[in-house]
Structure formats: C-alpha cells, structure tokens
Structure 1
Amino acid sequence: MTSTAQRSVSESAAAHLWPHFSRLSAFATGSVPVITRGEGAHIFDENGKRYLDGLAGLFVVQAGHGRRELAAAAAAQASELAYFPLWSHVHPKAVELAERIAHEAPGDLNRVFFTTSGSEAVETAWKLAKQYFKLAGKPGKHKVISRTTAYHGTTHGALSITGVQPYRAPFEPLVPGAHKVPTTNFYRAPEHADDLEAFGVWAADQIETAIVAEGPDTVAAVFLEPVQNSGGCFTPPPGYFARVRAICDRHDVLLVSDEVICAWGRLGHAFGATRFGYQPDIITCAKGLTSGYSPLGAAIISDRLAEPFLHGDATFLHGYTFGGHPVSCAVALANLDIFDREDLYGRVRDNAAALRSTLERLHDLPIVGDVRGDGYFLAVELVKDKATKESFTDEESERILRGYVSTALFDGGLYCRTDDRGDPVIQISPPLICGQPEFDEIESVLREVLTKAVGML
C-alpha cells in the first residue's frame, strides 16, 4: 500500500476519506480541492489560491476565519479542563454559557440543553416534546408538522422531520408521525400569487389543516425555520408566524423554531424569532454559536416545558457524550464576546440591504429569476425562462448547475453553494464581518459565471 507520505493530500482523500453529502466518484481522480487556511472572509487552498468564503463555511463562520482569540480560548480551557460530561455534574463554562444564552433568548426560554450539532438539537426537541406531553397526561401527542423541502438534520428523527425526499428515500422507513405542509415560497406561490399577506395566511392555515387532519390530540410540535434554507431562503410573509403561533396555542401544539442557521447573527439578531417577532416554545441552534471553531449546539427550552421535570423522579432520558463540551463552551463565550465588542448583529442589520441590492443587480441576466432571503442569508434562483419562471429539467440541472456553475464559481474564486433540493439556486451567506467590497466581489464572480451559463440553456 502506498503510504500517505508518498501521496498528495487529494490522493489520500480519494483513497480513505468519505466526504459528507458528496459523490465518492467525484473524488476518484484525486483532484479534490484541499483548503488549508482561513483569514477573515477568505480561505486558501494548498496552492495558496485565495477564495472569498461566500457561505461562511456552511452558514457557520460568523466572526470570520483566523480569530486568534477563539483559538486561545480553546487552548486555555483545554489546559484547565479538557473534558467533563454534563451527566449529573456540571462545569463552569457550560453554566456560564447557558445563563448567557437564556439571557439572549426571547420570553421564558431559560433552559439550555447542549448538544454537539444541529441535528442533535432537533432530535432533542422532538424527544422532549414527546416526553413533555406524556408527563402532562397527553401521551398520544407525538407527531410533528414541518414543511416540504425543509432540511432539519440527518439523524433518524431529524431526517423524518426533513422534507427533502432524496435525502429521506435511502433510509426509509423513517420515524413515523412526521407530516409535511407547503413552504412560504412566494415566488412559486400555488395560491394568492398576487398578494403576499393572503399567501401567508394560506400557508399558515395549511398547518392547522394538517393538525386537524391528523388529530390535535396526536400532534406534539411544529418545526419551522425563520427563513427556510433548503429550496433557497424562503422568508415568512407578514403575519405568518403570528398566525402559526395562534394555531399552535389553539391546539396545544409546541412551536419549535429551528435556528441552526438563522441564530447567532445570520439575520441580524441573536435569534430569528426575535427578527420576526414570534415566541417559540423551543429554539434549536448550533453552527454560528461558536463560529465553527468548535462543535456545539443547543435546544433552548421554555420554563413551561421544563416544569414537569422539576418534580419527583421525572428525568429526560437523553444526552450526548460531548454535549456542552468545556472547550466548545469556552469558545462560544469568547465568540459571543466578539459579537458584542464588534456589534456584528448591528453590522448585519446595517449592511443587509446593501448585500441584497448588490445581488439584485444580477436581475439583468435572463437566467436569474429571483433574489430572496434576509440578513446575510440570501439565494439567487436560476430559471430557464424568466417570463414563465420555467425551471431547469433534471438533465439541465445536472449539466448546468452541477456540471458547470458550481465548479466555475469556485474556480473564479468564490466558495458558495449551488443547491437543487428544490428549484436550482445559488446560496450566499458570507461571514458577518463582510461589507461592500466583499459583496461586490461576490456579484462580480456570479455575473461572469452566470453570463456564460446563459449560453448553455
């Protein structure tokens, strides 16, 4: 066997590494890009080529790459207490971080259950909802409602809540009881396409229709992202979440705000629920909490849901070995210090309109159908025919989006995401430290690549 020392990193990856959500066949040539360094809003490959990180890694690196204070916080904590579990004992950094998160969270979300990922946070929320209703004397309430094409994670429970059918199909049968309703994609609204508020009422009412159809005594929770990722940054119409909250209250159903992407500044606030003015029963989060410098997620839970567990021998029989890891908690605290010191939430609010208007310049290209999203979380939908909104065929999506656009953007110096889990989109979600120079750089690369893609239609 050839030793790793005799191979390039790419060749070794092709032989031994199993990448996530990637075709192994794409690695067969041993020419996979190798990213070795990050600084600010940019990443660098093994040859020293610089790329603008237009996706913040994976909606994660809020404070930017190369923040030495975050590395220092990790080293200091690892030197003092590298690991201890949150099983019947605690450690100071988890306690401090839980208090800080509770202070930031809206309403009575005062209990923090730490995980290591967003999928685990979603899994935690569903399991908690089930056990809460058993303790509340309503054991039949176990089902969940979520939206079509929405992505909520990869563990079996979270994947069941996920609405991306190609992700689900290889692993079915999944956990029973997860049901889907329409998204808030106004660009392709099946009803009230000329009235955003009426469309929002219709979309919210589909949730109530599903609850009634399944039986309110069987439905435990509704899982919604403030801005839906999969499908391309679907924003809520005015009044949508207020109506959903009222529907959940009417049927004693929990509202879970899945903010694995939207929390920690992506929308200009600590939480998307704050951005859109609604009160969840649980918030799930991860990604930006540490800016990716160490894995950490959380389910933030209301006092009402915690109350039955405060008596007798009631125990939430759930946990993770690395949930609330001391090093991750220390990094998160240092990360939130950066947010406060540099006012990253305010920076997003101040610059979000500029990012959107910069991307909207692309509307002059016939392949660009829609630009949508909120904060530093936007999508550009690509179309075959702008007038009719006709989308790509599967063959065209494979040939144009995967076969050309994705590679050409990276070759042009822009790391972002092409996505066809719904209609084909390019997602832009840069680090929160970015401003107009980075926005212009993103638009310039997109324009050059998409102009060439027009000729492939």
Structure 2
Amino acid sequence: MTTLDNATAPSTSQTPAAESAARHLWMHFARMGGRGPENPVPVITRGEGVHLWDDRGRRVLDGLAGLFVVQAGHGRRELAEVAARQACELAYFPVWGYATPPAAELAERLAHLAPGDLNRVFFTSGGGEAVESAWKVAKQYFKLVGKPLKHKVISRSVAYHGTPHGAMAITGLPKMKQDFEPLAPGGFRVPNTNIYRNPEFAGDPEAFGRWAADRVEEAILFEGPDTVAAVVLEPVQNSGGCLTAPPSYFARVREICDRHDVLLVSDEVICAFGRHGHTFACDKFGYVPDLITCAKGMTSGYGPLGALIASDRVMEPFLRPGVTFPHGYTWGGHPVSAAVALANLELMAEEGLHQRVLDNERAFGETLGKLLDLPIVGDVRGDGYFWAVELVKDKATRETFDADERERLVRGFLPGALFDNGLYCRPDDRGDVVVQLAPPLIAGQAEFDEIEGILRHTLLEATSAL
C-alpha cells in the first residue's frame, strides 16, 4: 500500500538527463532541492498522440495536454515539417516595424476567427506577455482618448494571469506574489464564480451569476470609474479548479464595463483554440470582449507563441499620426511559430477537433462524475476538455485540508502516485485542493475511462493513507 509518507519511494538510479537536470536545470514552479539518485528529476523523452514516455520507458497518459497546450496531440510530424520548411526559408525576423508572411497571414486568420470587431493582433512569446500587453494597451488607450487617470485593473480572487510583474499584479493569488512584492500598483480583486463554495446559491445559479457580476460593478464604483481601465477574466477560471460561470454572469459584466467605459479583457490563454469547442471561448459563453489574450493551443505546443487581439475601437487611437505603442518582444510573431500556428489551425479544422470537443464534453464530465462516489471527492466541474475534481477532507461539510495535509497530499503524494499509476495531470491547491484534467483534443471515451480509472485507484490510495 502506498502511503503519503513514502509516496516518492527511493530510486536506485538516475539517467544522465536526470543527473544533468539535477545539477544545472532551473525548473519552473518546482522545488529543486534534494534532487539526485534517491529522488531523480522526472524526464519526459517523447510523445505520441495522447501518451508520453519517460527516460525509463514508462508510458503515461497526458491528461493535461502538456500544460493545456497540445491540442492536436503529440508527434504530429506534419507540424514539425512546417517548422523545418519555414526555418530554412526565414528562421527569424522581428515584427518591429516590419512584417513576415507567416505573421501577416496569421494575424489576418486570427482577426477573421475572433468575435465582433477584434481585428488587430499583437504577437507575444506567450500568455503572460499577452496579459502584460493588454494592461499596457489599456493604460495607453485611455491616455490617448483623454482619460489619463484610468489605469486600474479588476480581476477575480484566486485567478492566475501570468508571472510578469504587471500580469502578476492582476493575478489573484497572494501567496504567489508575496516573494516578489512590491508589484505594479493598480490590481484589485472581486469574488470568483465558485458556486460549490457558495452553497447558498446552489438552487439558483442565475442569481449567483448576477451577484458575482454585481461585485465587479461594486469594485468599479468603489475605486472610481474614472480610475478603472479594465476588467480581466477567463471564460473558465483555471486556478481554483475550472470555475465556470452562470450564463447571466458574462452578459452582466459586459453591461457593467460598457456603463463605466471599462475595457473587458477575455484571458483565453488556456481557453482558446478548441479547449471549449470554439476558437475563442467567449463565443461559447456569449460575450464580445474588447481585448483577447491567447497563447498555448495556438500552435499545439509546436512553437512558442502568444497574442493580444484588440477591437477596432481600442486600436483607433493607436492609428493616429505620430502615435507609437512603445512595447514589444524579440520573439513576438516569430516566423517559425507563426507558420506552425497556421498549419495547426488548419489541421484542427480538417480533423474537426472543435466539434469533437462539443460532441464529447458531456461524456468527459459524466465519466469524471463517477468519482463523486468517493468520500474524498467533493465536486466535479468544468466545460469542454477542461475539468477539475475537487478533493475534500469532509464531504458533508465541504471542509478542505489543512496546510500539513495539503503538503503531504498535493506535493508529496499525488504527483508521483498519479504518474506511477500512468497519468500525468495537475494536483493543485492554489485555491482549494483540486486535480485538473485537460487532455489533448484528440482524446475520446477510451481515454476518459482510463483517466477515471487511474484517478479512482490513486484517490482510494490517498483516502486510505489519510
């Protein structure tokens, strides 16, 4: 029986890659102390379809699409070949006052796919940079239109929006920010849409949506509408565990932003490019933002690329004579990544991956919902191919775990046990304790069943140990 205290059993050897990583690789969001032969760094060597292999030859199901990225699956040679051809023709040139054919074509493609009049694309290297860019655009936009005091941003509690100093100031996770403070001033928080943690609204989700949206207006009025530039929200909030919102929520937030001349930013770094069955999830949830931030699934991970997409209204003052947006990134709009993104969007369309998600999202949710018979599972929630299983200490009271239990469960037991049992996914306690699932969009019922089976086995082990 695996226990919480011996979840990471000592290994007798480590591969050369693991040894090099332990000595020299500064891994992201990771504890790096104590790595070595007794506790080797996990090394992923290849992927094919929905599966990964490590340096010991073990095959595991990729239940997180890498990091909500690999929409079209691993090992797509056709995407790799596009990258090689583009690199041979033009490997690099910046979009600092210049264009390349792939960047120009991709910008046009995204403009056609985006809702409303969001027709202008600013490329970045990734999602955090896109959020950073959105805030800077909002600040400069209001200066250009004669409202220079509008600079604040309102986002939701527990929401994650990136690691740059500006994006981190928008992020609603105090523990993630405390080591880097002071951050950029101007970030303010409102309640999120976790109805599981607001059981008084359980019988009336529409009322909950109105209540949560009204907290946005309350914050704008408290700070002063003449000081608030933007509201930033995800269609489905990642951190905290796939928090969905009632239909009334987004329409009401849109009305509030219009009433107070505040830009609405849809942060779709995770949610765009098919994760919810649409190119942009705001289409699915019935609102048109002023700005969209996106990244991850745009290339299915075959090249790093992010983007900020702006409406004609936001772009208008930047087109005035003599105006410059003094902001950019060396790798933004990289021609190889842009070419890969074009090929990836075409591949996803040809294979009908958006419709596949729409056809299968209910089955995915229902399969994960079987886990609700376990005493440790309090809630299963999500949308599309983006779901979370919330773990609780007491199902009747919804009591969560204390700090010591979180340490032993989320960081000590679950990552290694899930991987050893054949599943890569994400145990997370930035909010309450959840396990997140977001497989490649090529996954189907066989993979859903495998995910449920491995989760069930692992969570039963955890329950016994606790």
Question: Could you say whether these structures have the same fold, taking a TM-score greater than 0.5 normalized by the shorter chain as the test?
Answer: yes
Take 2:379 and 2:34, find their aligned partners in 1: how far apart are those partners?
Answer: 30
Take 1:385 and 1:194, find their aligned partners in 2: how far apart are those partners?
Answer: 22
User: What secondary structure sits across from 2:201 in the alignment?
Assistant: coil
User: What secondary structure sits across from 1:25 in the alignment?
Assistant: coil
Q: Which residue of 1 aligns with 2:8?
A: none
Q: Which residue of 1 aligns with 2:209?
A: 200
Is 1:162 aligned with 2:171?
Answer: yes
- Of the three residues 54, 58, 70, the one matched with 2:67 is 58
Is 1:325 aligned with 2:317?
Answer: no
Is 1:84 aligned with 2:62?
Answer: no
Q: Which residue of 1 aligns with 2:42?
A: 33
Identify unmatched segments of 5+ residues in structure 1: 1-5
Q: Which residue of 1 aligns with 2:265?
A: 256
User: What amino acid sits opposite 1:283 in the alignment?
Assistant: I
Give the C-alpha shift of residue 13 in structure 1.
Answer: 0.7
Alignment of 1:23-422 (within 5 A): 23-28=31-36, 29=38, 31-189=40-198, 192-422=201-431
- Of the three residues 438, 449, 452, the one matched with 2:458 is 449
User: What amino acid sits opposite 1:43 in the alignment?
Assistant: L
Give the C-alpha shift of residue 191 in structure 1.
Answer: 5.3
Q: Does structure 2 retain, via aligned residues, the 8 Å contact 1:400–1:456?
A: no
Q: Does structure 2 retain, via aligned residues, the 8 Å contact 1:230–1:421?
A: yes
Q: Does structure 1 retain, via aligned residues, the 8 Å contact 2:232–2:266?
A: yes
Q: Does structure 1 retain, via aligned residues, the 8 Å contact 2:65–2:73?
A: yes
Q: Which residue of 2 aligns with 1:8?
A: 16
Give the C-alpha shift of residue 296 in structure 1.
Answer: 0.2
Deviation larger for 21-30 or 322-331: 21-30
Take 1:179 and 1:204, find their aligned partners in 2: how far apart are those partners?
Answer: 15
Structure 1 residues 365 and 30: alpha-carbon distance in aligned structure 2, compared to 1, 3 A threshold? closer
Take 1:421 and 1:190, find their aligned partners in 2: how far apart are those partners?
Answer: 20
Q: Deviations over 1:85-131 (max 9, x none)?
A: 00111111001000000000000000000000100000000000000
Please tell me the root mean square deviation across aligned C-alpha atoms, in Å: 1.1
Take 1:456 and 1:247, find their aligned partners in 2: how far apart are those partners?
Answer: 48
Q: Does structure 1 retain, via aligned residues, the 8 Å contact 2:235–2:266?
A: yes
User: What secondary structure sits across from 1:284 in the alignment?
Assistant: strand
Q: Which residue of 2 aligns with 1:434?
A: 443
- Of the three residues 17, 22, 28, the one matched with 2:30 is 22
Q: Does structure 2 retain, via aligned residues, the 8 Å contact 1:11–1:30?
A: no
User: What secondary structure sits across from 2:92 in the alignment?
Assistant: coil
User: What secondary structure sits across from 1:455 in the alignment?
Assistant: helix
Take 1:297 and 1:38, find their aligned partners in 2: how far apart are those partners?
Answer: 23
Give the C-alpha shift of residue 27 in structure 1.
Answer: 2.7
Q: Does structure 1 retain, via aligned residues, the 8 Å contact 2:273–2:297?
A: yes
Q: Deviations over 1:322-369 (max 9, x none)?
A: 100000000000100111100100000000011110100101100000
Q: Does structure 2 retain, via aligned residues, the 8 Å contact 1:13–1:30?
A: no
Q: Which residue of 1 aligns with 2:3?
A: none
Q: Deviations over 1:215-266 (max 9, x none)?
A: 0000000000000000000001121000000000000000000000000000
Give the C-alpha shift of residue 26 in structure 1.
Answer: 5.0
User: What secondary structure sits across from 1:372 in the alignment?
Assistant: strand
Q: Deviations over 1:391-415 (max 9, x none)?
A: 1111111112222122110000100
Give the C-alpha shift of residue 456 in structure 1.
Answer: 2.5
Take 1:153 and 1:178, find their aligned partners in 2: how far apart are those partners?
Answer: 13
User: What amino acid sits opposite 1:23 in the alignment?
Assistant: R
TM superposition score normalised by structure 1: 0.98
Give the C-alpha shift of residue 194 in structure 1.
Answer: 3.3
Percent identity for Structure 1 against Structure 2: 68
Give the C-alpha shift of residue 190 in structure 1.
Answer: 6.9
Give the C-alpha shift of residue 32 in structure 1.
Answer: 1.1
Q: Deviations over 1:17-65 (max 9, x none)?
A: 0000000125345511110000000000112110000000000000000
Take 2:394 and 2:285, find their aligned partners in 1: how far apart are those partners?
Answer: 33
Q: Deviations over 1:283-318 (max 9, x none)?
A: 000000000110000000000011011111011111
